[in-house]
């Protein structure tokens, strides 16, 4: 459904410095699958999402790579063209905290109208209303929300409305960036249920879900990709990445999970010391080397490729699989 | 839970009502509690359940409509500014948003110097103060030499929250109220912040009150958990009892709504 090959993008700051936020990322999502992207803040998750849509505007710049959505290569298209023919129709994006960006002076129906008219200005008010009503029924949202202002809605309802606006034109791929992190657990569950229903009924064909909450990601995603400093450091099924992480960084992430289940209290949370490297001049070797417990002198010298283990599993570390697993067992 | 110390902060029939007449909102409705010395307590509830209002009342930032709060066995008295200041020497807070916790015009030095002054160390020689500040910063793994002459906004969210803990380290209050201390920072820094808070509790024996909606966090850190719904405590008890054997339907629902990794997450009950 969506394929990305060696995509690299950078930010150019106002002092003309390059910040390499996404570095040679390749990914592939098949129809009906959800890909989860994990990683701490500032590791390039959101930038990757923006870059995936092929819609570049300063300070974000394209360097290299290819993006193929449903057989259509959108690399090299002009931003205006992308906006008209790709965004919303082929791929839709729900930015982080999107629900706070709703214009308080306009009704929900107007947001949907805006999306439709941006692609086809000939739609009449009645057509838009009928379409919106059908859409809300399909998504299991009450139709009276359409005539309300954002302030009249609860946080959870606002977030679900934002999702509905994003999928107005039935995109094939939906990118959800932290769609539930500002909500409490009950509203979060409703949002997740709505997303999952959309996937199950085939309303959207594939989804990319970005969050740093691993228990949530584990429950939503089929595959999980762990990002660190703009690179993919690990890729595998949700179960593999959570229960059998290979890269030391993923291992550290998994150690910070807090779930109300027995056994948690006796477990010790592991924190990863330090901060991610500055991406203006990324280190030549492994980018995680400065924070890694198992660092070796050669880690800092040569860059580490992503090793394919087979069955779609991959990780970026010079240590072999068995050695890593053994180290984790002894380390605890 | 280990043996409980003396009650440090207690409340009887504590109530807060906003507005009056038809527009009355009962934010906190006749709650009773006993927080003991050295105990870690969590108050868990959804948004709008009144947990932050309760925290503000504990801190003495807003008045109590009805009921009484007892501090170390005596009725709390905040009638004058001097008494308030005295009270705040004993109770301190860490808030949710580290970005708005600091005065952006004050340098980090002055934030920490204020704490030393509040503990009565205003007349100490400069070298002694620097030594104290360095010690506080190294407690949370920050380097004072790198922070001096900087402004709070030059730090990252996790660093700011750690600096907040360094403040608490200098002040050594008897009670610390942590209102969602980790909800704005991501999962990896969360463990660090919690570790420092626990370490601080172990060193100074203070009472820690967590206000949170994250049940996983509450379960991990606390001795006692209070579950709050619509301004009332619906269930309380030791962490293991409340989380592993919940009795009240609201507690059960909250726990079932949290995504888990070892059990199936049931999405049908929304």
Note the pLDDT of residue B270.
Answer: 65
Note the pLDDT of residue B255.
Answer: 87
Interface test with A, best of B261, B262, B268 (most A CBs within 10 A): B261
CA–CA gap between residue B1 and residue A123 (Å, rounded):
66
Dihedral, B183, B40, B224, B44 alpha carbons, nearest 10: -20
pLDDT single digits (tens) A155-213: 888 999 999 999 999 899 999 998 887 788 888 888 999 999 999 888 899 999 998 88
Note the pLDDT of residue A331.
Answer: 67
The model's pTM is 0.83
Cis ω on the peptide bond leading into residue A240 (within 30° of 0)? no
Tell me which residue has tokens 């099924």. A237
Q: For the purposes of burial, counting CB atoms within 10 Å of the CB of B55, is it exposed (0-12), middle (13-18) or buried (19 or more)?
A: buried
Q: Cα B250 to the chain's mean position, in Å?
A: 23
pLDDT tier at B1, thresholds 50, 70, 90: very low
Nearest to B220 among A193, A255, A258 (CB): A258
Nearest chain A residue to B155, by CA: A275
Residues of B in contact with A269 (CB under 8 A): 191, 194-195, 220
Nearest CA-CA partner of A40 in A277, A246, A237, A298: A277
Greater model confidence, B159 or A8: A8
Domains delineated in chain B: 7-90+173-257 (3.40.50.300)
Q: Cα A186 to the chain's mean position, in Å?
A: 22
Neighbours of A76 (CB within 10 A): 10
Query: What are the two backbone dihedrals, phi and then psi, of residue B18, each rounded to the nearest 5 degrees?
Result: -100, 140
How many Cα atoms sit within 13 Å of B121 on the Cβ side? Answer: 18
Distance from the B118 Cα atom to the nearest Cα atom in chain A, whole angstroms: 32
Distance from the A15 Cα atom to the nearest Cα atom in chain B, whole angstroms: 18
Nearest to A264 among B46, B47, B220 (CB): B220
Cite the residue boundaries of each domain of chain A with CATH code 3.40.50.300.
2-90+172-259+269-331
Q: B254 and A258 in contact by Cβ < 8 A?
A: no
pLDDT single digits (tens) B206-241: 899 999 888 888 888 889 999 999 889 999 999 889
Note the pLDDT of residue A332.
Answer: 52
CA–CA gap between residue B48 and residue A310 (Å, rounded):
48
Note the pLDDT of residue B14.
Answer: 92
pLDDT single digits (tens) B165-210: 888 888 888 999 998 887 777 777 788 888 888 888 888 888 999 9
Nearest to B188 among A186, A265, A272 (CB): A272
Tell me which residue has tokens 């002040």. B171
Interface test with A, best of B186, B196, B199 (most A CBs within 10 A): B186
Residues of B in contact with A274 (CB under 8 A): none
Nearest chain B residue to A183, by CA: B47
pLDDT tier at B262, thresholds 50, 70, 90: confident
CB B13 within 8 A of CB B32: yes
pLDDT single digits (tens) B111-166: 889 888 888 877 888 899 889 888 888 888 788 888 888 888 888 777 888 888 88
Give, as one character, the DSSP assignment of residue B88: H
Residues of B in contact with A40 (CB under 8 A): 186-189
DSSP-based three-state secondary structure for B176: strand
Q: B244 and A189 in contact by Cβ < 8 A?
A: no
Mean pLDDT of chain A: 87
Provide the token pair at B101: 């916790």
| Fold observed for domain A2-90+172-259+269-331 | Rossmann fold (3.40.50)
Q: A264 and B216 in contact by Cβ < 8 A?
A: yes
Dihedral, A242, A99, B214, B26 alpha carbons, nearest 10: -160
List all residues 6 or more positions away from A63 whose beta carbon is below 8 Å from its beta carbon.
Answer: A8, A9, A10
Q: For the purposes of burial, counting CB atoms within 10 Å of the CB of B241, is it exposed (0-12), middle (13-18) or buried (19 or more)?
A: middle
Return the HEC string of A111-126: HHHHHHHHHCCCCCHH
CB A327 within 8 A of CB A294: yes
Q: B261 and A242 in contact by Cβ < 8 A?
A: yes
Q: B192 and A271 in contact by Cβ < 8 A?
A: yes
Nearest to B239 among A192, A257, A265 (CB): A265
Query: What are the two backbone dihedrals, phi and then psi, of residue B227, each rounded to the nearest 5 degrees?
Result: -100, 130
Distance from the B147 Cα atom to the nearest Cα atom in chain A, whole angstroms: 16
Provide the token pair at A109: 């129906």
CB B215 within 8 A of CB A259: no
Q: A273 and B189 in contact by Cβ < 8 A?
A: no
Q: B261 and A257 in contact by Cβ < 8 A?
A: yes
Query: What are the two backbone dihedrals, phi and then psi, of residue A11, each rounded to the nearest 5 degrees?
Result: -100, 145
CA–CA gap between residue A33 and residue A37 (Å, rounded):
13
CB A36 within 8 A of CB A59: no
Distance from the A263 Cα atom to the nearest Cα atom in chain B, whole angstroms: 10
Neighbours of B250 (CB within 10 A): 18
Query: By a Cβ cutoff of 8 Å, what residues of chain B touch chain A?
Result: 46-47, 141, 156-157, 185-192, 194-195, 213-220, 239-240, 243-244, 253-255, 257-263, 265, 267, 270
Query: By a Cβ cutoff of 8 Å, what residues of chain A touch chain B?
Result: 40-41, 155, 184-186, 188-190, 192-193, 196, 212-216, 218-219, 242, 252-253, 255-265, 269-273, 275
pLDDT single digits (tens) B12-55: 999 999 888 888 888 999 999 999 988 999 999 888 888 889 99
Q: For the purposes of burial, counting CB atoms within 10 Å of the CB of A85, is it exposed (0-12), middle (13-18) or buried (19 or more)?
A: middle
H-helix or E-strand spanning residue B225:
strand B224-229
Q: B239 and A189 in contact by Cβ < 8 A?
A: no
pLDDT single digits (tens) A108-153: 999 999 999 988 889 999 999 999 999 999 888 998 899 999 998 8
Nearest chain A residue to B239, by CA: A265
Q: Return the ∠ at Cα A299 (arms to A332 and A7), rounded to 5°.
A: 105
How many contacts does A have with B, using Cβ atoms within 8 A? Answer: 110
């Amino acid at each position: 459904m969506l394929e990305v090959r060696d995509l690299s993008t950078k930010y150019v700051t106002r002092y003309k410095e390059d910040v390499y936020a996404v570095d040679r990322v390749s990914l592939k999502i098949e129809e009906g699958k959800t890909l989860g992207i994990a990683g701490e803040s500032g590791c390039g998750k959101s930038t990757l999402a923006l870059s995936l849509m092929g819609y570049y505007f300063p300070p974000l710049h394209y360097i290299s790579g290819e993006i193929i959505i449903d057989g259509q290569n959108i690399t090299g298209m002009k931003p205006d063209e992308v906006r008209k023919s790709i965004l919303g129709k082929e791929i839709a994006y729900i930015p982080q905290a999107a629900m706070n960006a709703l214009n308080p002076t306009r009704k929900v129906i107007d947001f949907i109208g805006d999306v439709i008219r941006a692609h086809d200005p000939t739609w009449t008010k009645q057509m838009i209303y009928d379409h919106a009503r059908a859409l809300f029924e399909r998504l299991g949202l009450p139709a009276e929300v359409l005539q309300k202002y954002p302030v009249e809605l609860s946080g959870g309802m606002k977030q679900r409305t934002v999702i509905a606006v994003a999928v107005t034109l039935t995109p094939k791929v939906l990118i959800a960036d932290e769609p539930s992190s500002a909500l409490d657990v009950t509203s979060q569950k409703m949002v997740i249920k709505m997303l999952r229903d959309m996937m199950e009924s085939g309303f959207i064909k594939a989804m990319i879900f970005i969050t740093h909450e691993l228990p949530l990601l584990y429950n939503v995603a089929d595959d999980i990709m762990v990002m660190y400093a703009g690179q993919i450091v690990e890729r595998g099924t949700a179960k593999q990445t959570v229960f059998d992480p290979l890269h030391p960084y993923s291992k550290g992430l998994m150690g910070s999970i807090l779930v109300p289940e027995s056994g948690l209290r006796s477990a010790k949370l592991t924190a990863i010391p330090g901060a991610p490297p500055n991406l203006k001049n990324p280190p030549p070797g492994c980018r995680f080397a400065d924070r890694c417990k198992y660092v070796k002198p050669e880690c800092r010298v040569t860059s580490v490729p992503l090793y394919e283990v087979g069955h779609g599993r991959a990780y970026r570390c010079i240590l072999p699989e068995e050695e890593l697993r053994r180290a984790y067992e002894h380390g605890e | 839970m280990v043996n409980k110390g003396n009650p440090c902060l207690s409340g009887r029939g504590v109530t807060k009502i906003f507005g009056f007449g038809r527009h009355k909102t009962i934010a906190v409705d006749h709650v009773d509690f006993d927080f003991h010395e050295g105990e870690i307590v969590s108050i868990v509830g959804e948004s709008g359940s009144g947990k932050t209002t309760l925290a503000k009342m504990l801190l003495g930032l807003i008045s109590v409509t009805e009921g009484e709060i007892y501090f170390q066995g005596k009725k709390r008295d905040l009638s004058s500014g001097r008494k308030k200041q005295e009270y705040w020497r004993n109770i301190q807070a860490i808030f949710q948003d580290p970005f708005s916790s600091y005065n952006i015009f004050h340098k980090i030095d002055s934030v920490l110097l204020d704490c030393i002054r509040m503990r009565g160390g205003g007349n100490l020689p400069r070298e002694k103060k620097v030594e104290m500040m360095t010690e506080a910063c190294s407690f949370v793994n920050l380097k004072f030499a790198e922070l001096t002459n900087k402004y709070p906004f030059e730090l990252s969210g996790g660093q700011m929250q750690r600096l907040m803990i360094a403040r608490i380290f200098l002040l050594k209050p008897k009670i610390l109220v942590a209102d969602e201390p980790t909800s704005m920072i991501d999962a990896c820094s969360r463990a660090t912040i919690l570790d420092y808070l626990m370490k601080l509790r172990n060193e100074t024996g203070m009472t820690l009150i967590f206000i949170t909606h994250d049940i996983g966090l509450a379960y991990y850190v606390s001795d006692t958990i209070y579950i709050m719904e619509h301004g009332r405590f619906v269930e309380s008890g030791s962490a293991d009892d409340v989380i592993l054997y919940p009795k009240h339907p609201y507690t059960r629902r909250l726990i079932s709504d949290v995504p888990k990794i070892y059990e199936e997450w049931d999405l049908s009950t929304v």
